[in-house]
Chains A and B, each alone.
Chain A
């Protein structure tokens, strides 16, 4: 069978022009299939929607935002130094609006960085945080919310109600977007999942959780502004890097390194897709 498969695939490669992101193939009807009564699938989501506003109005994310602001402004890091020299892309020390302009190319490091990667970079460089410590616990848990998570929450909140505008000028920014787009669609692992398995169609859910179609601007914004977000399960702040990490866990992939190029590329793809939309985060999530 192995050989046959190989031949078929080779044949396929020769005879077909492989359109990337072609439409989903028509689903084959099971034998003697008659569609079961369609479920009223929006009922649960509608009930959640009614209370989203209440939850968003008083979002415990604000507690972490305040903590992050304190660390950023008041020399609360290990070295007692200031973030005044940290350039998030809009000039040294400028926080307002910086979040919605990342990922972007930073000449000082010669690479594209997403917001979280840049913030951590600055906290190591200017405040004296240890990279090893941050990598030891990159994400919050019930016992501890690392400082960088609070700072990212603050930086994100400083772009609230602003339009997303991740740049696509530098060749490396364009490269990151295009590679991110490919990672998004790449199916592998024991379950054959890609990011698109859950986030490639409109109106889908896992259990009761709505899944935005990340190929569309008005849906990509929903994912973008969810994180950093206050996670009700457990009750702590989680970031975009965490969201990507845990998606890959559930995709049954091995683990992406924290702040790696692959995650920056995915975030570039998602953010650029959401460009022009208004950021309403930080979020509050299930």
Chain B
């Protein structure tokens, strides 16, 4: 599907660009160059260079898609979230903390079939005991304490980790469940890390 969309989009854009000011379509040249230069290594195959629909829209809008389009695509993404069949969304916050620490997963140096990590501390402050945290995403310290852990909140956090693009189409956060980077149990454990009252995230 993606290829068709991209082809259509590219054609449309290429035409309008040429008509507008005769500038070259450097994006198309860049993508063609990357497809020439990048080689599959381990689990990182070259199909990863193809944009999917969400990536295509974000790439073409400088991460600033038109509001109506964004809203519709976000709804699509949200509809694709698979919630646990047993209805339980909170797992074990201790397992979640371990997962949040791990930055592994999906690189060419990671092995196929080995569960990856959540990569959470790369971008977020979470537990107060971990000083080494990134700031690309917002601080999640006291996340549950300030928001509570109602069923709605659990559902939001689960969905956000499963597919961050369901809530903000061009978010920098990966779609962990959507791309099978994290499984159901792992996401439950991360939900618990953020929302469980016993989690250090919510300590005073």
A193 neighbours in B (Cβ, 8 Å): 172, 174
Question: Which residue of A is nearest B25, CB measured?
Answer: A182
Residue B21 at the chain A interface, CB threshold 8 Å: no
Count of residues in B whose CB is under 8 Å from the partner chain: 87
Interface string of B16-45 (1 = CB under 8 A from A): 000000001011011101101111110011
Evaluate contact between B63 and A255: CB separation under 8 angstroms: no
* Total residue contacts A-B, CB cutoff 8 A: 245
B60 on the interface (CB 8 Å rule)? yes
17 contacts between A and B (CB under 8 A): A13-B8, A22-B63, A25-B170, A32-B153, A36-B139, A38-B139, A39-B133, A178-B26, A182-B31, A185-B59, A187-B58, A187-B59, A189-B44, A191-B179, A207-B134, A253-B48, A261-B33
Residues on A with beta carbons closer than 8 Å to the beta carbon of B60? 13, 18
Alpha-carbon separation in the docked complex, A4 to B167 (Å): 18
| B1 cross-chain contacts in A, Cβ below 8 A | 2, 5-6
Q: Mark A1-42, 1 if CB is under 8 A from B, else 0.
A: 110111011111111101111111101101111111111010
Q: Which residues of A lie under 8 Å from residue B131 when comparing CB positions? A: 44, 208
Counting contact residues on chain A (CB < 8 A from B), the size range is 35 or more
Shortest Cβ distance from A182 into B: residue: B30
Residues of A within 8 A of B34 (CB): 183, 186, 256, 262
A206 within 8 A of B: yes
Which of B36, B38, B50, B136 is the one whose CB lies under 8 Å from A197? B136
Which residues of chain A are within 8 angstroms of B48 by Cβ–Cβ distance? 188-190, 252-254
| Known contacts A23-B64, A205-B135, A256 near B37 by CB under 8 Å | yes
Q: Which of B4, B62, B167, B169 contacts A22 (CB 8 A)?
A: B62
Most buried by B among A5, A19, A198, A255: A5
Q: Give CA–CA (A180, B40) in the complex, Å.
A: 21
Answer yes or no: B53 CB below 8 A from chain A CBs: yes
A265 to chain B, nearest CB (A): 7
